[in-house]
Amino acid sequence: MKNTVAIRVDGRRVEAELESPLLPALLREGFDIPTLCYHEAVSPYGACRLCLVEINQKGWDDDWWKLTTSCNFPVLDGLTVRTDSEKVKKHRKLVIELIMARCPGSREVRDVAERLGVMDVRLRKQDEDCILCGLCARVCDEIVGVNALTFHGRGGAKNMSTPYAEASAECIACGACVFVCPVGCIKLTQTGTTRTIDRWGRTLELAASTHSGIAFAPQTQLEHFRERADLPKSFYDTAPGELERK
């Protein structure tokens, strides 16, 4: 049986698993917490800072509250949480303003900003499309298991790319990075016989089903997943290089 404890959130009693991440517990209970870098399938990173809440731990002075990201802060016995205080709202607005200044063209970022009451930015706008959340690298490493993506540079020169910013032989073009990208800046293009992850410059031929002749996934992706799941070699029943061109 899981070790659950009681915490108080905005004056309400909530039960959650001890030392589990706070954010999923808040979302499960219906609290409105904005986020751009969180995904339940991978480890939290605290990159976007939008899931800020105020906390007061057992034993602290009642007037002493701390701002923290809820995605990577653990549930603790006797924890008290504020999700909608003036301080929380003020800092979330500042954070989304910084993100919107970096990626002013992102519809997803603008949607979150509007939800938080921020319609424009006071800062010099950049022309970036990636918010540097790291979700693509984390899903590539933790779920897919190929580790084809990484951060490069520091400060204003920081970016997400493949090693040496060249098409990586490690990339299996599975599209997981496309799926989890919260702002849609990673694109996938698929023809009848090839799949390309545009941002990483990786193009692979698709394997076809021996039954239908329809191309459906890169052979490298199928082989990688087959090996990770310890499936028989004939599991996918494909014919690489023998695609029926529709």
pLDDT tens per residue, range 86-130: 999 999 999 999 999 999 999 999 999 999 999 999 999 999 999
Q: Which of 177, 105, 97, 106 is nearest to 137 (CA)?
A: 177
pLDDT score for 246: 34
Percent of the chain with pLDDT over 70: 96
What are the structure tokens assigned to 132, written together?
Answer: 């540097």
Per-residue pLDDT tens digits for 72-92: 999 999 999 999 999 999 999
**pLDDT (mean) for 140-149:** 96
pLDDT confidence of 239, banded at 50, 70, 90? low
| Predicted TM-score (pTM) of this structure | 0.89
pLDDT at 236: 81
CB burial string 143-164: b at 16+ within 10 A, e below: ebebebbeeeeeeeeeebbbee
Give the residue extent of every domain in the chain: 4-115, 135-228
Architecture of domain 4-115: Roll (3.10)
Check residue 242 and give its pLDDT.
43
